[in-house]
A and B are shown apart, each in its own frame.
Chain A
Amino acid sequence: MTGPVLGYRRRDGRVGIRDVAVVVYLVECARQVAEAIATGPDVHPIGFGGCYPSAYAQEMLERLCTHPNVGAVALVSLGCEGFDRERLADVVAASGRPVTTLVIQRLGGTRATVAAGRAWIAEVRGRRAARTAPLGLSDLVVGTICGGSDGTSGITANPVVGRVVDRLVAAGGTAVFEETGELVGCEHHMAQRAVTPELGIEIAARVAKAADYYTAMGHGSFAPGNAEGGLTTLEEKSLGAYSKSGSGPIHGVVTPGQLVPTPGLYLLDVVPEGTPRWGYPNICANPETYRRMGDDMDVDAGRILEGRAGIDDVADELLALVLATAAGAPTASEDLGHQEFVLTYKSSEPTGPGCLPMVR
């Protein structure tokens, strides 16, 4: 890197690495209109497809619309759905971001709403914020998210991520690893890394809850492709996923939408869902996958398997890439225009003091 890494300073003091405008559908019936509005660079459709009120979806969209990587928000309502669009608009306005609410049934239908939405986006994008806030590793909050795992994930890409997590936390930064449903079988080892015994008990209980959920659903977090790739059991897959968490102390557990209170290493208590791709490099574990799909990848960690690089070499590369991404370099999936997002009916409560002991 030459020169300092600069981000976007938001009114709440947090700094973003992206300045995305989100177009938010508040019911599935408004999704096509939202997607038609979200056509320019750095304009992403997100939303909730359900028709009935969901406290979880409300909380998640309030957090996402005031996320440091978001600079402007257009809400797209059909008009008859149960989502509390006024409250969401108020929360966004209170954060200082430009916000508009487009109600399809009032504006005269699909064409009129798409036109109004595009005009609003063009207007607010014309007065975008600039990158002025210097950023270091200690300012970053980096999350990990799995792709499709095979037998190589836990040998190459995930240990590389673990090394970067260790270095980031050592530098005063924050890392959040996931996800309880993918860590079944690792709970006792994880509990030993907790900064307090109470936190260790919480971690084990939350993984047990995820295992109960999967048992009730009749399946684990285990897809046919996992087995084709050489993984045999849920706990074997977990073991590979677990190596993304590095080797340091675990400072707490958070749930979706909850902010981490202080820098450190946190477990995100969640079972799989979609997440916006605002600056996520793709790290490919399998050298053959990289040869097939290199265009979609940012890092070729499969080199480790073929003796062409060591874990620390690839970790050096990834850490440099994290900083370059923070400075604004597009990742492969951003460059390709990926904007997938999923938010479903769920319930989730923020964790309490037992999960956030604030011990360092």
Chain B
Amino acid sequence: MNAAPHDLLLLAEGDDVLIAVRDLEPGAHRASTGSTVVVGEAVALGHKVAVRAIATGERITRCRMPIGSATAPIATGAWVHTHNLASDYLPTFAHRGGAR
């Protein structure tokens, strides 16, 4: 049972991503900001979706801190992960899952 009043959590004002607090099916979901976000694809617990449209090369922030840069255009509500976000420090190695 999930008593959380929302499906997507904004960790800090101004962040570029929302965090799924449970496994989400595609469709409209409640965000902790009070708005509704249409999620484009299935997103698992703990994964991120874009708050806004993000262009290639833009820095992406979580908790007001940069977590890397977009490697592809990202639509509002799209899953943000290794297929469209890369480290500004070191490459991420995901040999199972993660990348597609």
Contacts and interface: CB of A to CB of B under 8 A. Distances in A.
A244 to B, nearest CB: 13
Interface residues of A, number: 34
B98 interface: yes
A224 B95 contact: yes
A224 B88 contact: no
A-side interface mostly: loop
A321 interface: no
B45 A151 contact: yes
Contacts, number: 119
A232 interface: yes
Given A227-B82, A228-B98, A233-B67, A214 B90 contact: yes
Contact of A232 (B9, B22, B67, B90): B67
B98 A227 contact: yes
A232 B65 contact: no
B68 A305 contact: no
Interface string A75-119: 000000000000000000000000000000000000000000000
Interface stretch (A169-177, A184-192, A275-283): A184-192
B44 A306 contact: no
Interface string A230-241: 111111100100
15 contacts: A150-B46, A152-B45, A184-B89, A185-B65, A185-B89, A220-B87, A220-B89, A228-B96, A230-B44, A230-B46, A231-B46, A232-B67, A232-B81, A233-B67, A305-B9
